Copies of this chain bind each other. A is one copy, B any other.
């Protein structure tokens, strides 16, 4: 692991990386090594399943836990991790000091459970770094200006790391996790999947949206805003260089397709022969939003006479029952013919910064799937993504076909 002439490094280790004291010792070795030549801030999550355990306790105490107190409870998870990592680093002879969200100067909105960071008062971090300390920072937490503990919600620790790196003007933010970086496809599905050396923020955001779980989009978005190089690395295999995220304009290698992803947690609903009246689509999707059902792909198909149309959309499979009941009610209310519920859906997507320049890519993808007998149920696209809804049973095969079609397993730039 060489950082060369880099001046300041932020490292972040997730829950699986600090699951036990033994694993924390491994993390401490990585941190101490980096800190030999560079000032280092290391951000850690709660150990393994700690957060789940604390949530279980909270639910035993209260059916609808008070927001403020839930944050006080959850914040203890990261506090345990930072103390143990700082203890371990000191035991190894490194000088380390732990800081909680409040001590780090991470000021958030006065909103609990999913607060946004509004400011980081870096004086204390800088003072410790100047004094030669490794700063061990609690991820996921902050404080209001009134001194109440807040937590940042999903992707919180990644966000803490990127926000601290941006506030300090760090040269790189390394997100250590249990995979070696971002792959062209899930290596569990496609044995030939290849680790990407680099990927743009925008591609990573699209990949996260369609099933790749490596980095939280919130952290990627923040890194993009600050043009902060973000690197994904493997805690358990630090020889790997990992994948670096940077701006599309700073990419060294051009390629039309960077990766193929699959999201198997999908279902499809259709409402048939909806009267063509203004505001009806808004009524349907408004009602779903109120029940917190997120809708993904949407297709509205007009019948030939134009008086009625069919509306089809995809949702998370877990929302199917809620959404089906709601849609049934709406269908009766507006005089639609009925509804169709299809639980057997997966979404296969390709992502690539070069897609927008290459119109033939989409047709190549559809043709290849057609030749292989994979029926495409729906299509949606963005500037750098093409997604197809297919039968869940076809999903793995579709990913393999696409991976081969675009030669994603071959070395970049070749």
Contacts and interface: CB of A to CB of B under 8 A. Distances in A.
Interface of A: 21, 24-25, 54, 57-58, 60-66, 68-70, 72-73, 75-76, 79-80, 82-84, 86-88, 90-91, 96-98, 100, 102-103, 124, 147-149
Contact of A76 (B69, B79, B86): B79
A103 to B, nearest CB: 6
A24 B61 contact: yes
Contact of A66 (B65, B76, B82, B86): B86
Given A76-B76, A91-B62, A70 B57 contact: no
B72 A91 contact: no
Given A61-B91, A87-B66, A98 B72 contact: yes
Q: Which 4 A-B pairs have the closest CB atoms?
A: A73-B83, A62-B91, A21-B60, A72-B83
Q: Which residue, of A64, A66, A90, has the highest number of chain B Cβ atoms within 10 A?
A: A66
A255 B87 CA distance: 53
Nearest to A25: B61
A291 B217 CA distance: 57
Nearest to A78: B76
A88 B73 contact: no
Contacts of A97: 68-69
A90 B62 contact: yes
A21 B57 contact: yes
Nearest to A95: B66
Contacts of A60: 21
A102 to B, nearest CB: 8
Given A21-B57, A21-B60, A61-B24, A83 B69 contact: yes
Nearest to A22: B60
B73 A87 contact: yes
Given A72-B98, A79-B79, A103-B148, 15 more contacts: A21-B61, A57-B80, A58-B83, A61-B91, A63-B91, A68-B98, A69-B83, A69-B86, A69-B87, A69-B90, A72-B83, A72-B86, A73-B79, A73-B84, A75-B79
12 contacts: A24-B61, A57-B80, A58-B87, A61-B84, A62-B91, A65-B91, A66-B86, A66-B90, A68-B97, A75-B79, A102-B102, A103-B148
A97 B21 CA distance: 33
Q: Which residue, of A64, A66, A87, A90, has the highest number of chain B Cβ atoms within 10 A?
A: A87
